[in-house]
Amino acid sequence: MQDLDTLFSQAISQERAARTRKAAAKRPVAPPATVKNLNDPEFWLHSRNVAVLHSETETLIGNFSEQLHTSLPGVKRFLRLDAPASISGTEYVSGNWWLEGTLITKRKSDFVPQNLILDLHLDALGLVSPQARIVAYISPDGGISRVDLSAETQFTPEHDGAAFTFLPANTNILPVLSHPCKLALRKELSL
């Protein structure tokens, strides 16, 4: 009986070793860190989907796919997601050197928040949400600087109620609001 146990243990051990060798053979072998292998998609593995926020202004920059380099520990990159996706984390970035000339000069705390409930139509995304709770930030000169969702908000496609999209709290929706929705917002704020 002991001989069978020994044979079985050896077979399992050999199988594991073979799987490890096979997996190692499939992984690309990276040459020393070069620009070439940093730009080569074979050296990047998808890690998770994240929301990237600008830390100084608390503005959502967008949703990105976080990718880790296979041969350079600690090296990661973010690729913008075009389609809605499940987000499993948040990353913060700072500064403005990467904004291509757009300068962010004011913090969210420089503005007066106004809590509202409004029917939302995100024209650019084709989504609607009735009676959504939002926070509009009014600048000292009376303009609307941003409009954030107060809580995670459920949206449905404009012409098809069969699907749902959830946007997280503190998402700035001002850039994608429809023109009639922006007018209704200004009316609610008496601007």
pLDDT in tens, 110-138: 778 899 999 998 877 778 888 899 999 88
| Of the candidates 131, 116, 135, 130, the residue with the CA atom closest to the CA atom of residue 173 | 135
Separation in Å, CA 56 to CA 151, 152, 157: 21, 22, 32
Structure token digits, residue 93? 């970035």
Q: Any idea what DSSP says for residue 130?
A: E
Amino acid at 49: N
| Of the candidates 123, 145, 120, the residue with the CA atom closest to the CA atom of residue 134 | 120
- DSSP structure string for 4-29: HHHHHHHHHHHHHHHHHHHHHHHSPP
Q: Is 108:146 a contact under the CB 8 Å cutoff?
A: yes
Residue 101: per-residue pLDDT: 47
> Where is mean pLDDT largest: 73-77, 150-154, 163-167?
150-154
Percent of the chain surpassing pLDDT 90: 5
Q: Is 174:120 a contact under the CB 8 Å cutoff?
A: no
- pLDDT exceeds cutoff 70 at 33: no
C-alpha of 103 from chain center: 22
